[in-house]
């Protein structure tokens, strides 16, 4: 049964490893994945520690229903205190790692301490060994996986690895598996690097038993049909997440030249159709019918031959519009580079775009940038900056510390141009025309981010009676309106917290498709997998518990209402171009603050975003840290 999957506590300093069961009580409070990780984060990370010290705790978690044949159930949640923001560090990764971890007998790993020399963990059917990784140190994210498979003589081994960027403690180094999957955000690869943990390799052949296997198989097929009946999934199957680009760029919802423009007028080549030149087919993560990424080959040009996977919509911004590059090939090469070095694509692109604007404004100059002319759209400069960041070479090292430290170092009003919240860069989406999306990035617990609470279906202008039915309260169907948008964000935040704890893919719940599996379907899947009954209300309460736990962590680290804010430019500079609905828009500060009040009230937090006593009691969080596990 799923109940026999364990938590392993690994101390890299003392090399002591302890295995413990996960109690049903913990499951009923937090499910698994991100939920249990957030509990562990709050309980095992002491307040105000150095995120790069041995006392930081690296948490790896598979979801409660992870591994089932539907909904992209191979998601893995990785958490720690973020070295980029100092807030909740949490990142979600697809691929094939999490199910393999379950097949090897584990659902959660709690890794503390730091090794004296480079090591990797080898997890195989209930056993965990700490192995020497001296020969792997210095290898990139692709080479490392191949080397481990060769060393251990099993090509079916799945790995979480860091590349050069993680070794060099770049604050936004990511954790990678396979050719493309990345736990990109909040610098979890940097935490691995600080622990001298190069990789976690896993291979499992143990049965994972379910309460009702026959019914589950049948229901999983229904779930797959349900998600594939949505246009969003069909479009993603063909074009990947890049399909979003056509819509947002046409409308004028994409940051271009950092934040100067809201669409790339000459960016036709960035449209997903260009991928037909390079794609040899799509690739799917574990158990996924949507398969939203390309397998691509560059056959010609200075970077050929090159095989890669992706790119995501995010990379079209990071290495396309935000830095004003206009060629798909540039994005493909840059995407390959960040994957090789193990860098977060969004943070890397966001910082380089910012630096380019600072260069244009004369705030930084060639003396500071080691002679590099940081001009818009300069592909060679982009590639060189990626390398410099990963290697912490010269000016690259300034950016490698992330926005907070780089702003402090550069000064001279550079902060105004930084599109970041809580120290983390935002997606290329321009939220000035969309208050709901703006509130989402402002309040996301891990810093500016679209995967914490984004109500993307707000952009569809759905009928209001339908929206009211879903969100259980009045919501305006006009995406430029502020009415009911706090409710949308709050509702999505709870749903995504539960999705991340179940181990399924956010794109296979209400992200861009209304008729996608949600509470009712999740309840049934949990029942068929584990035998327990959890109602929709209980699931929403679990979502609330997870979000509030994250909130408590951030409050303890000194974050407050003032950090749930947007960069000044959102309030000051109206969008210059785009369709009429997106043109000449900016966020109204007063209305934004009202939205924020409403959002806190929905969470039952006070006006400063502090959870009220009764709320904590109701969520059974009044005795935290409780150290139940």
Where on the chain is the footprint of other proteins (CB under 8 A)?
67-69, 96, 103, 142, 146, 178-179, 205-210, 213-214, 216-217, 220-221, 224, 228, 237, 280-289, 291, 295, 297, 307, 309
Shortest approach of other proteins to residue 553 CB, angstroms?
A: 33
Helices (H), 104-185: 141-152, 164-167
User: What does the CA dihedral 30, 563, 606, 626 come to, rounded to 10 degrees?
Assistant: 30
Q: Distance between CA 426 and CA 553 in Å, rounded?
A: 21
Cβ atoms 575, 582 nearer than 8 A: yes
Q: Which is nearer to other proteins, 100 or 347 (CB)?
A: 100
Q: Min. distance of Cβ 178 from other proteins in angstroms?
A: 6
Q: Of 185, 564, 568, whose CA–CA distance to 347 is shortest? A: 185
Mapping DSSP onto H, E and C, the string for 578-614 reads CCCCCCCCCCCHHHHHHHHHHHHHHHCECCCCCECHH
Using the minimum distance from each CB to other proteins, give the nearer residue, 48 or 221: 221
| Beta carbon of residue 203, minimum distance to other proteins (angstroms, whole number) | 10
Q: Which residues contact 362 (CB under 8 A, 6 or more apart)?
A: none
- Least separation in angstroms between residue 251's CB and other proteins is 30
CB of 142 or CB of 491, closer to other proteins: 142
Residue 285 or 338 having the CB closest to other proteins = 285
- Peptide bond just before 394 cis, omega within 30 deg: no
User: Closest approach of Cβ 100 to other proteins, in Å?
Assistant: 9
Q: Would you say 221 or 536 has its CB closer to other proteins?
A: 221
Q: At closest approach, how far in Å is the CB of 433 from other proteins? A: 35
Q: Give min distance, CB of 63 to other proteins, in A.
A: 13
Give whichever of 217 and 540 is closer to other proteins, judged by the CB atom.
217
- Whether the CB-CB separation of 287 and 69 falls below 8 Å is answered with yes
CA 602 to chain centre: 24
CB of 135 to other proteins, least distance (A): 19
Alpha helices in 401-484 (DSSP H): 402-410, 435-443, 464-471
**Contact yes or no for 364/358 (Cβ under 8 A):** yes
CA end-to-end span of the chain: 20
């Amino acid at each position: 049964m799923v109940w026999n999957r364990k938590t392993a506590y690994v101390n890299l300093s003392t090399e002591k490893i302890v295995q413990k069961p996960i109690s049903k009580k913990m499951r009923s409070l937090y499910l698994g994945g991100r939920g249990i990780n957030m509990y562990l984060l709050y309980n095992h990370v002491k307040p105000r520690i150095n995120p790069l010290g041995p006392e930081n705790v690296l948490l790896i978690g598979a979801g409660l229903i992870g591994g089932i044949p539907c909904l992209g159930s191979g998601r893995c949640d990785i958490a720690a205190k973020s070295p980029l923001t100092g807030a909740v560090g949490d990142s979600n990764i697809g691929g094939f790692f999490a199910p393999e971890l379950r097949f090897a007998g584990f659902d959660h790993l709690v890794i503390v301490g730091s090794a004296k020399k480079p090591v990797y963990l080898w997890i195989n059917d209930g056993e965990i060994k700490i192995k020497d990784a001296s020969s792997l140190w210095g290898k990139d994210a692709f080479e490392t996986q191949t080397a481990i498979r060769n060393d251990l003589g099993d090509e079916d081994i799945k790995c979480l690895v860091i590349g050069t960027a993680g070794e060099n403690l770049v604050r936004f180094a990511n954790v990678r598996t396979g050719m493309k999957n990345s736990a990109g955000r909040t610098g979890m690869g940097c935490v691995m690097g600080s622990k001298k943990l190069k990789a976690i390799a896993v291979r499992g052949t143990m049965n994972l038993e379910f309460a009702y296997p026959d019914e589950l198989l049948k229901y999983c097929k229904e779930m797959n049909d349900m998600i594939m009946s949505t246009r969003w999934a069909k479009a993603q199957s063909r074009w990947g997440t890049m399909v979003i680009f056509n819509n947002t760029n046409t409308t004028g919802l994409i940051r271009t030249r950092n934040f100067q423009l809201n669409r790339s007028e000459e960016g036709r080549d960035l449209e997903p159709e260009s991928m037909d030149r390079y794609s040899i087919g799509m690739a799917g993560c574990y158990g996924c019918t949507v398969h939203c990424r390309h397998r691509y080959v560059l056959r010609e040009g200075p970077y050929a031959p090159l095989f890669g996977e992706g790119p995501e919509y995010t990379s079209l911004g990071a290495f396309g519009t935000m830095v004003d590059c206009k060629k798909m090939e540039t994005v493909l090469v840059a995407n390959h580079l960040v994957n090789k070095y193990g860098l977060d694509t969004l943070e890397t692109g966001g910082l380089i775009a910012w630096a380019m604007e600072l260069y244009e404004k004369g705030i930084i100059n060639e003396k500071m940038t080691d002679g590099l002319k940081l001009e818009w759209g300069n592909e060679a400069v982009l590639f060189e900056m990626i390398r410099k960041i990963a290697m912490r070479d010269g000016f690259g090292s300034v950016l490698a510390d992330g926005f907070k430290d780089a702003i402090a170092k550069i000064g001279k009003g550079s902060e105004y141009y930084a599109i970041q919240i809580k120290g983390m860069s935002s997606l290329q989406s321009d939220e000035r025309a969309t208050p709901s999306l703006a509130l989402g990035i402002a309040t996301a617990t891990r810093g500016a981010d679209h995967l914490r609470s984004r109500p993307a279906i707000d952009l569809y202008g759905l009928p209001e009676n339908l929206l009211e039915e879903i969100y259980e309260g009045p919501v305006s169907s006009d995406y430029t309106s502020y009415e009911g948008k706090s409710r949308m964000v709050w509702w999505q935040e709870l749903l995504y917290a539960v999705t991340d704890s179940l181990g399924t893919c956010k794109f296979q719940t209400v992200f861009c498709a209304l008729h996608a599996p949600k509470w009712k379907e999740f309840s049934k899947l949990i029942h068929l997998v584990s035998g327990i009954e959890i109602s929709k209300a209980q699931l929403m309460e679990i979502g609330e518990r997870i979000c509030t736990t994250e909130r408590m962590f951030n409050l303890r680290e000194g974050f407050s209402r003032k950090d749930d804010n947007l960069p000044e430019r959102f309030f000051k500079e109206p969008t210059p171009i785009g369709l009429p609905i997106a043109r000449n828009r900016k966020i109204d500060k007063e209305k934004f603050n009202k939205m924020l009040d409403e959002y806190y009230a929905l969470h039952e937090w006070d006006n400063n975003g502090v959870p009220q006593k009764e709320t904590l009691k109701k969520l059974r969080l009044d005795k935290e840290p409780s150290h139940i596990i």
